[in-house]
Structure 1
Amino acid sequence: MTHEDLPVVMDIERTTFPVDAWSEAMLRGELADQPRTRHYVVAEVGDRVVGYAGLAAAGDQADVQTIAVLADHRRAGVGTALMDALLAEAVRRGAVSVFLEVRADNPPAQAMYERFGFRRLGLRRRYYDDGTDAITMVKDLGPRHGDMGGGA
């Protein structure tokens, strides 16, 4: 994702998350940290951006910052492709775990994350702007490359 993608990304953001959409300034801040600690990607069908996703990574931990797909492109593999890209980047950066928050009232997203091997970790009460709880989830990626798991 680049700054040139922001107008269409912001349209998707506001459509997908009408109650608690990120501001353009927030997304600009995320892009400013690319590639140091952030990795943002867009999904295109033809020449149209239909989704985007972002990852924060530091040390051996990564966090899915956001993932959104236009409603008319859901259940067509776009979200899967975006999540595959984020997980591949997490591995490339040496992460051993990936965390995320998902709305407690969004079972389809929860199911997608479970298909990717995420497991429920906990609950953040009233996490979202409208008071909805967030379920925290984690996916273990395994030891860092070259780490044989033995003691010293």
Structure 2
Amino acid sequence: MPPQADPAALAATHTAAFTQSRPWTAQEFAELLADRFTHLTGDARAFALVREIAGEAELLTIATHPDHQRQGLGRQIMQSWMKTAAERGATEAFLEVAQDNTAAQALYSACGFGLVGIRKAYYPRPTTAAADALLMKRRLP
């Protein structure tokens, strides 16, 4: 397994970046990385995990370690995984994002994603009401 795909390092970044939701474990990352339809873009500083099946690319998760935020890595990772997915034959990309994650929503909108649906009270929160999931989609070039 390449060093950038180390499940423990990815889980550590996910834990640091996801403070409102349950972060994914190293075991969960290992299982996803073993799936032939799932692809990693980036490294432990910033990464995206994407599943590509039947012409669709789904962003499963994206994370930038707080020590590396505000450096444009998130936008670079977004552009990179979408380009790779299109090269592999995907024509559409979709994702979901918590309604209270306005920074991620701004990134996704800037990358051409538009709102296509809402899942009510989808993301549990430790101290507040569950957040809705916003479903977003875009065509790939």
Shorter-chain TM-score range: 0.7 to 0.9
- Bigger Rg, which one: 1
**Residue deviations 1:72-100, cap 9 Å, x none?**
32221111111112101210121111000
Q: Is the 8 A contact 1:126 1:133 kept in 2?
A: yes
Tell me, yes or no, if the aligned pair for 2:10 and 2:29 is still in contact at 8 Å.
no
Identity rate of aligned residues, in percent? 33
State how far apart, in whole Å, the 1-side matches of 2:124 and 2:26 are. Answer: 17
1:111 corresponds to 2:106:
yes
Structure 1 Cα separation of the partners of residues 55 and 41 of structure 2: 21
**What is residue 20 of structure 1 aligned with on the other side?**
22
* Residues 2 and 31, structure 1, Cα contact 8 Å, conserved in 2: no
Matched residue, 1:79: 74
1:132 is matched with: 131
Aligned-partner SS, 1:127: strand
TM-score by length of 1: 0.81
Distance 2:9 2:22 in 1: 17
After TM superposition, what 4+ stretches of structure 1 lie above 3 angstroms from structure 2? 1-4
Find the counterpart in structure 2 of residue 11 from structure 1: 12
2:63 match: 68
Gaps of 5+ in 2: none
In 1, the alpha carbon distance for the partners of 2:136 and 2:50 equals: 14
Secondary structure of 1:21 counterpart: coil
SS of residue in 2 equivalent to 1:87: helix
Measure the CA separation in 2 of the matches of 1:74 and 1:103: 19
Unaligned stretches of 5+ in structure 1? 44-48, 143-152
SS for the counterpart of 2:123 is coil
| Structure 1 residue identity aligned to 2:15 | R
One-letter amino acid of the counterpart of residue 101, structure 1: E
TM-score (norm 2): 0.87
Deviates more, 1:53-62 or 1:5-14: 5-14
Aligned-residue offset at 1:129? 3.1
RMSD, aligned α-carbons: 1.7
